[in-house]
Amino acid sequence: MAATDSLRTAINGMTPKDRKQLALFGAVLVLGLVFGLWVLSAALLSGLEEQRAATLDALRVIRSERARIRQRQQQRAQVLARYEQRAPALGSFIEQAARAAEVTVTETNDRPVQRVDSGRFERRSTSIRLRSINLQKLVAFMAQIDNAPFPVAITTLRLRKRFNESNNYDVDEMVITTFDRVRRAGESRTERDGGVGRGLTPVAVPVGGGVAVPSTGATR
């Protein structure tokens, strides 16, 4: 109250010119505060509008990509399902595929089992030879391998045409490889599935169809 009385007394003691200047200063101060509040509110509204536009764009992208996302999820589920099924002994598998394609395997050589991808997979490989085979039967044999329900790949193929014989070839080397998940103690299904998804790298395919395999340099 005393401060208000002192301010009133000071104003009453001013000359008319000083009072006008004080009123003008007050008006400028009020206008400055109003302008500052307007700028602040405009900036806040602009930020909210940009955030709203970005959210709408993201929703549009998700809506337009829904079918592709669903397809990728299905492909990933198919890959995970293949790794859940352990491959049988490659010798018996190759023999069955050769019988179905009416092909005779002349030589089979199992290679040492190797741990790959930081020990998360075991790679088993078998090298075979085929003699005097035509392309139709060779393709049928490779299709039998490619259609296996577990992860298997033809990682090496060396083919040689037989001298002076039409459509007759020798397969000097065909390496058939499969990958087995290494089950770790206490590993949950979620961790197992997630690990497979992160451990897969799409690679080039020289023969057969494409499939994701562990990033070991092998191709399918």
Sign of CA dihedral 218, 77, 88, 145: negative
Q: What is the CATH number of the domain that holds 184?
A: 3.30.70.60
191 shares a domain with 95: yes
- Is residue 74 assigned to a domain? no
Q: Whole-model pTM above 0.85?
A: no
Most confident by average pLDDT, 50-59, 79-88, 127-136: 127-136
Are 220 and 210 in contact by the 8 Å Cβ rule? The answer is: yes
Q: pLDDT (tens digit, 9 = 90+) per residue, 98-126? A: 999 999 999 999 999 888 877 788 889 99
Whether residue 67 is contained in a domain is answered as: no
pLDDT band at 13 (very low <50, low <70, confident <90, very high): low
Structural domain for 21, as ranges: 13-62
Q: Is the pLDDT of residue 133 over 90?
A: yes
My answer on whether 91 and 58 are in the same domain is no
Do the Cβ atoms of 105 and 98 come closer than 8 Å?
Answer: yes
217 has pLDDT over 50: no
Question: Same structural domain for residues 102 and 180?
Answer: yes
Q: Is the pLDDT of residue 96 over 80?
A: yes
Number of domains in the chain: 2
For the chain, percent of residues with pLDDT exceeding 70:
75
d(CA 134, CA 139): 9
